[in-house]
Chain A
């Protein structure tokens, strides 16, 4: 499970479905791709948002024969999750959202993540694939991690601080669900200072 590479989320920058990777984020995606290139990946499941697509593109350039399944279910909270909301519709910039907007959208996201997770597991079971990668987003990956671990649902009080392009390895089998490691971003070390210059995040 891989978080997308670096995006400029510094104050004043709108957060939408279309934030692109920064120049350093594109280079970090290449380092990520080099790191995973020897892991025998057989399938990529990728969120359809721009930042995850760009991250997966770096992997696909090195591993062009690995099939890729672009999945809306793996997207981050966005204006798309506000469909059916009965109150005043917010702008697409998440920075301007109020708590009630997140409350509604997060519930929608939880449902689609659960459905997406089940589709991935069903695909794994049907295909017999052994090594696959999910490329998604910070909050979505928190939700997916709790899907993987089983009930209770994610309480949103404790977050995993997924770093840009960080890798989490989940081991799944008939009688096994184990996190082999969580939030490994060693490949980002050469660029960490450059990324830090964009502004503080929890992950520094």
Chain B
């Protein structure tokens, strides 16, 4: 087994940490397309082999990312969907989906996979990956802006541990869109 990286791409319109302000104006649909385009461009640095997306949302971003990676397969699964109003099994579903994905990547020898999903799903994945319990969803531990990227890596050969959180909520590619409201520069 070698290194596997799962990139978590927060779909457009996700509400966690969203300031709802755009410097460029335009409709939400136009902004969504622009965000998807920027995310797809950001992923060009990564040799994606598979793009995963839920059934209910995120399709525009997933399509843009898949288009930027003609060799990558695009797969849809309800496992990555945002929590529904009566989705009591959300945490268990997402944890199982991430565990299953990492096992599948090992089995298939896939090194780089992107998952397009909402901020709450990304919170669940990062927490589970870090060995943390289900968070209080009234105040999720990680701010995840729409269009942001996060990355998780497994490396069984690492001296210090086999699981690595590489980053969470990177928005460098969204500069000028006024989406995130953070001041990091």
B-contacting residues of A (Cβ < 8 Å)?
35, 38-39, 149, 152, 155-161, 167, 169, 171, 175-184, 186, 202-203
Residue B46 at the chain A interface, CB threshold 8 Å: no
Q: Report yes or no: B184 in contact with A160, Cβ–Cβ below 8 A.
A: no
Q: Could you say which of B27-35, B92-100, B157-165 contacts chain A? A: B157-165
B43 at the interface (CB under 8 A from A): no
Q: Which of A38, A152, A171 contacts B131 (CB 8 A)?
A: A152
Residues in B whose Cβ lies below 8 Å from that of A169: 182, 184
Contacts of B170 in A (CB 8 A): 181, 184
**Could you tell me if A158 and B161 are in contact, using CB atoms closer than 8 angstroms?**
yes
| Contact size range, B | 20 to 34
Query: Least Cβ distance of A172 to chain B in Å?
Result: 12
> Would you list which residues of chain B between 128 and 182 have a CB under 8 Å from chain A?
129-133, 139-143, 153, 155, 158, 160-172, 182
* B interface, over-half SS: loop
A and B contact pairs by CB, cutoff 8 A, 5 listed = A159-B160, A167-B184, A176-B139, A184-B170, A202-B158
CB of B185 within 8 A of CB of A182, answer no
Complex Cα–Cα for A202 and B161 (A): 11
B168 touches A181 (CB 8 A): yes
By beta carbon, the residue of chain A nearest B154 is A158
In the assembled complex, B183 has its CB within 8 A of some CB on chain A: yes
Nearest Cβ in chain B — how far from A68, in angstroms? Answer: 22
Neighbouring B residues of A158 by C-beta, 8 Å: 129-131, 161, 163-165
Q: Among the listed B163, B166, B183, which residue makes an inter-chain contact with A183, where contact means beta carbons less than 8 Å apart?
A: B166
